[in-house]
Each structure stands twice: as structure tokens, then as C-alpha cells.
Structure 1
Amino acid sequence: MIDAVHDALVAAFRIPAADKHIRLVVHEPGRFAVPPTLTSPELYTLVIVDCFAGRSVDAKRHLYREITERLGAFAIPADHVTVIVRDIPTESWGIRAGQAACDVDLGFTVDV
């Protein structure tokens, strides 16, 4: 699943393939509330992406499709996937030995 989400980010947001910062948190079904209308509530998957601000709505739409399709390989129904993108300004990220991301050449563009 980690690779599926990462590959979706590479495809939709055009991040470098080596830029892989992903955390997988699994909750027991009884510890996570989901809509009662889901056919397989145990398969509900929430993906939250914290990223540099600047991606277009089209890039985000592309990401939503990519993640949903790739999670389908794990038999997760598309209507059981929620993706939340949280845009965070580069000045709010401390990276590479304590530098503000806005002061660093990231090596890729966020305006896709």
C-alpha cells in the first residue's frame, strides 16, 4: 500500500521517485468509525497527504484517481477510499538540516 500511494504521488504530483516519506497507520476495525453504508467497512481506507502548497486542482484530481485505482489492486473498492490533501506553505516545512523549504532548491516543481 505504501508503494501504491507513493507511485500515485510520483505520477500525479511529479515528485522524484526517491522522495518517499510515507507512514502507514492501521486501525483495528472497531477503533475507526466509517459510514454504515459501506459494503466492506473493514476495507475503508483514509489517505492523508501533507504536501507543499502549489498543486493545481487537476493535479489533485489526478492524484485521487491514481490512489483509488492503485488501491484497487488490494481489493479495496473505490467508494471505500477517501483522500485528503493538506497544502502546507513551503515556509512551514523545516527540511535538510533545519532549513525552511522555501529557501531550498527542492529539485522539483510543485506547480503541476
Structure 2
Amino acid sequence: MPIVRIEDGVQRHAVQKHAVIETVYACLREVFGVSDEELQARYHCFAPHDWRSPGDREHYLHVQITVFAGRTLATKRRLYQQVSERLAALLKIPADAVLVLLDEHPAQNWGMRGGVAACDIDFGYEVEV
């Protein structure tokens, strides 16, 4: 059930924003093994006066991913690496300009599909990977 929020200080074309979202999705599929069924994303571009990156960097992309808790540190490290490297290549920015923030919550804290606790839903993939 990943919810992806991308924040960017650069005004990008719709095609490029879509490519960023799809790149993050591909990484989530490959590393976390999630299905497409519950993936959702929001892409926010900020005007220069509404944005300040660490150290006032020219290139900086904030990727927040909210997921069920349970992945191992090794799995999270693979996700951070893949997201950073692939977005850097796609956008032609330094890999260290990409921040990936993983926001984890127990499945029992998600109410979805008409008020069902997520811990009672079979999503077809394992969380403890």
C-alpha cells in the first residue's frame, strides 16, 4: 500500500513528472515486491519562494514513501539505493540530491477498502522481506 509523495523545487513537464513516479514505482515493485493495485502518488512542484533545499542546492528531490511496517534494514537500503540512482540518472542530477524518507505504519493502523483494517487484507505480497 505504498503512498508516494514527491516534492521538487524544479518545475518539470508532465511527462518528466510521470517518469519520476514510474521510476519510484518500479523500485517499489522490484525491491518491496508490491503490486500495482494499491500504488498511489502525488507530485508537488514548488515555486522558488515556497521552497528551500538543504544548503540551497540547485538540485534536490524529496521522495516520501508511506508503507506498512515490516521490511528489513537490508531491504530498505536496497530501495534507497535504487530510487536515488535511478532518479539521478533520469533527471541528470547527483544521486545525493535525492532524499528518500520511508514512513512506516503497522497494517492495523490503516483502514481501507470500505473500512477494513489492512492487517485483515491479503495484498498478495509479503511485507517482511
Structure 2-normalised TM-score? 0.78
| 1:13 alignment partner, one of 32, 35, 59 | 32
Is the aligned partner of 1:76 residue 2:93?
yes
| CA RMSD of superposed structures (Å) | 1.4
The aligned amino acid for 2:44 is V
The aligned amino acid for 1:68 is S
1:9-59 CA-to-partner distances (Å, cap 9, x unmatched) read 111111114442111111123312222263xx2x21000010000011011
Q: Which runs of 4+ in 1 moved over 3 A?
A: none
Distance in 1 between the 2:38 and 2:78 partners? 19
The aligned amino acid for 1:105 is D
Aligned length: 109
Distance in 1 between the 2:93 and 2:115 partners? 38
Distance in 2 between the 1:44 and 1:28 partners? 13
Aligned to 2:60: 44
1:63 Cα offset (Å) = 0.6
Distance in 2 between the 1:2 and 1:29 partners? 22
The aligned amino acid for 1:51 is V
Aligned to 1:63, the other structure's residue is in SS state: helix
Is the aligned partner of 1:102 residue 2:119?
yes
Structure 1-normalised TM-score? 0.89
